[in-house]
Amino acid sequence: MLLDDGKSAVGPISALDASGFTVRIAAEVREFDPEQYLDRGEAKRLSRFLQFTVASVDDALKDSGMKLDAIDKERVGCMIGSGIGGLDVLGEQHRRQIDGGPGRVSPFLVPYMIPDMASGYVSIRHGFQGPNSCVVTACSTGANAIGDAMHIIRRGEADVMIAGGAEAPITEIGLAGFCAARALSTRNDEPERASRPFDVDRDGFVMGEGAGILVLESLEHAQARGAKIYGEIVGYAMTGDAYHITAPEPNGDGARRSMNLALKYAGLEPSDIGYINAHGTSTPYGDRLESLAIERVFGEGATVPVSSTKSMVGHTLGAAGAIESIVCIQAMNSDTLPPTINLENQDPDCRLDYVPNTARPASVEYVMKNSFGFGGHNVTLIFRKWNG
């Protein structure tokens, strides 16, 4: 896995002319050909986040080995979210309206822009007739989608849920908005070194794009079909900061409560967790407060390994929690903890073990995933290694 090799996906932006922006770098999905998954007409019409969704779902279903003609599709649902949705379609159609008037706007604008179309399109494409919904909780979206899908299965409302998140924010308006918020790193001359969570020289996050999809099943359904089981979701919790639209609560209390509640749900102690995949966006404020919250749960000077894979793939916003959940599961199954790269001068206010720069061999049974979003959303998932 490239993450274990510490490879950065950040580079100069190629999707648009970024010369007039203060930020000219991002973690783009390069050499992606949607026509490998869609016919040419569909590929041309669909917004990029929907293209990512289709591709990721198709790959996940293929990997699952599930025979779609042999399952009850009324018992298969979709819970796929996006923080922003089809910004590329919105931008393109807005230009058409400005240039040619309202009659130039495509009838596909609304359906291919709205975030819930990720779940809707997958449901239609594969005939999944079970629960069909969408989570939109900013950068917590992907993690929320996985946790909510788990609850649907545990309540007996579905046997299988296709869950995760997708995002394609690298557009003119998306970049302009985050530049205006001064949330992004401006290390344009050193793109591979720009995302540096927990480093004293961090100056903001690097925008990324992509999708992460999990095929969740009840244990009975998975075993009955002889599925390869990668892991089990044993903990899930969410809290609200009730503090500020973008800034986390100053004592990290919302994050602390989310982690504690997830541990309680799982029936675990902090000492049971062998690795934490941090939200770790590379923002000065956020990294420090997440570290503080972890110490409040795991103890001052906690030794639990923590890393941020956003140091390599950037911040994929609504997809991040899902992509990083896959990283957690892979870490358990490969007995390897991915590193936090670019950690050259650790912030003295960030006092944990961040697996700096080099992947680490480690056999862990339980891993924790944190995701936090604008609006004060805090989400924690806990996964267990499957040992039969």
Between the alpha carbon of residue 346 and those of residues 195, 199, 302, 371, the distances in Å are 13, 5, 16, 22
What does the buried/exposed string (b/e) look like for 160-178 if buried means 16 or more CB atoms within 10 Å of the residue's CB?
A: bbbbbbbbbbbbbebbeeb
Separation of alpha carbons 40 and 37, rounded Å: 9
8 A C-beta contact, residue 236 and residue 262: yes
Residue 353 token pair: 């073990």
Q: Which residues are catalytic?
A: 139, 279, 315
Q: Which residue, 148, 188, 139, is CA-closest to 374?
A: 139
Q: CA-CA distance, 224 to 144, in Å (whole number)? A: 27
Q: Among residues 188, 198, 184, 191, which one has the least CA distance to residue 345?
A: 198
Q: Which amino acid is at 14?
A: S
Contact 274/365 with Cβ under 8 angstroms?
yes
CA of residue 239 relative to chain centroid, distance: 18
